[in-house]
Structure 1
Amino acid sequence: MSVALSILDLARIREGFDARDALDHARDLGRHAEARGYRRIWFAEHHNMPGIASAATSLVIQHVAAGTERIRVGAGGIMLPNHAPLVVAEQFGTLAHLFPGRIELGLGRAPGTGPETLRALRRSPSAAHDFPRDVVELQGYFSDEGADASVQAVPAAGTKVPVWILGSSTFGAQLAAELGLPYAFASHFAPDALLRALEIYRARFKPSTQLAEPYAVAGVNIIAADSDAEARKLATTQQMSFADLLRGARSRSRPPIDDIDRYWTRGEKEHAQHMLARSIIGSPDTVRAGIDAFVKETGAEELMIVSDIYDHDARLRSFELIARCLQA
């Protein structure tokens, strides 16, 4: 099975723990992933979410990169409508100098938050319309030519921080193809347009100075344990989180439960299961078969794995078993 493995983390804050625990567990996960051959670990920008500690994404990246040696660390992603490209370039240019060759910048078009939080960020909902132009502006700051511009993002010029386009629709696929950038599709929570988006990206891709051929990454929820039954129980933590989101509740990560059907309604179950349709849950044999089928269906060069498990040791174990599946 020829596919690279990477990790998307949200620095989840668990019930009974605090944000410092979440951040230190993220760093520990980075070390664990590095030792087991994972290519990269990314962190996502989410605001006004009491259960997620990765809102200040560049700072989380610095914390994890400082605790690891080789693994690439990046944003999956920065929601560009929330920021001035100049400031993002300054932050990631600084990171690139601190950790040469290891920093990556995935960019999303959605603000990733509600209207009240958007107002608190002092951003307009219309900022998303400028996304393509802002991506190009950001690339300019990282280029060699950025050192000669009238406005410089110090110290970003010449760092050539790799830029990725993230998406959950065909829009991002078209933009990534037009700009010749690697593309990551968020099928771990928005699976509907996955195959169409990958098709568009590959068909329309134009080579660039960053990338000669299309490179597609697909997000997938994978929870591995020693048995199918144990994995299904561990998965209830993520299922409860999705049910809470549908209820408008912003909860911390909860311990797993024996019967998820006692927690969610029929409507919540249908909605959550649709969003989580691209999930692989089970023993190593089940996970191996699931990964093989997913890669054959999508042709993805890389999987960006979400393994949302309450217990930190069980989560490390999940990622260890997943890595073994590709080594077998």
Structure 2
Amino acid sequence: MTDRSRCTDGSHTFDGSRRRYLAALLALAGGAPLGGCASESGSSPASETPATTDAATAPTGTRSTDGTDGPALGDVVEDDRLAVVAYSVGRSADFESLEVLNGDGHVVVEMGVKNTHGSEYVGVSSRGGFTLRDADGTEYHPTVAGPEPRLDAGALAPGEAARGFVTFDRVPADATGLSLDVAPTAGPGDLGRATIDLESDGEGRTLTHDFAVPVHDLGDTTEYRDTRFTVDAVRTSTGDGAVTPRPGHEFVVVDITVENTADDELFVNTPVQADLKDTAGRTYDLSTDAILAFEDVAASVTVDPESSVHTALGFEVEAGLEPLYLVVDLDSIWVGGRTFYRLR
């Protein structure tokens, strides 16, 4: 298998901008994989046209540059709810975090997903929606182990993207003909299917945010139920000397104010309810090193009734990375509480 893991640093942009679409959901109710792609103009050969596809959401696109029929690495597979792309694939030896985990058995695929619906949240199953398959038809499923950032999708807001690694284990080192079955949306009606050839190169584009929800600025105050949340400022640092970020990285510290307007105590579990995202959707969790380096960076926030708390959140990212977005989910149970702030 060709090693393409070196395309994972975000600098490799697929400028061909050729799209592939998942077949209509009703047409794929039987779970059959996408059979072929139409020409770029929208017409398709009779042998490749799904017989029962709804014309409103019929697949369109082009073949990969190497002549394969289906989507390949870099090709965007898309319908009116979700876009999916496999950017690169590598083996365990390409990732330091897997070297201690009997590395011969891991295959790592860098994936991107994006909610293309104009008004609804779309649930994405990071583990249940992807199946690796080899030339013999053997299936391999995602594991919780793997390099970071992992694909952290969940419920994506309209126009929101997510990007990260999906890792499969117990894959023989000599396995060939690897392909990825994609069925990432969650819910009983979401039956779209596609198969991506991981050993061929295609042409596509890098998925980035195109938010169809409000994105707030520094100083804006948002309200969700009994909580008022303000991002006051953002600062960067290389640490305090004793605790520093990794080479080429920096701490991003976000100063916030949380106000509780209710009669009961408010608890905000910031490791679960707040994270950072870059423009391609990579997710950065709260940094334990930042908590150690800065006295005002908190692991969680407790606010008394009818009062407010000034505190800070700390993250570690590549130095100079922008734009950056703070994502706050004030309701970790019900979909719809996600709020976005552009930090820089």
TM-score, with structure 2 as normaliser: 0.22
Find the structure with the greater CA-based Rg: 2
How does the TM-score come out when normalised to structure 1? 0.22
- Structure with bigger helix share is 1
Higher strand share: 2
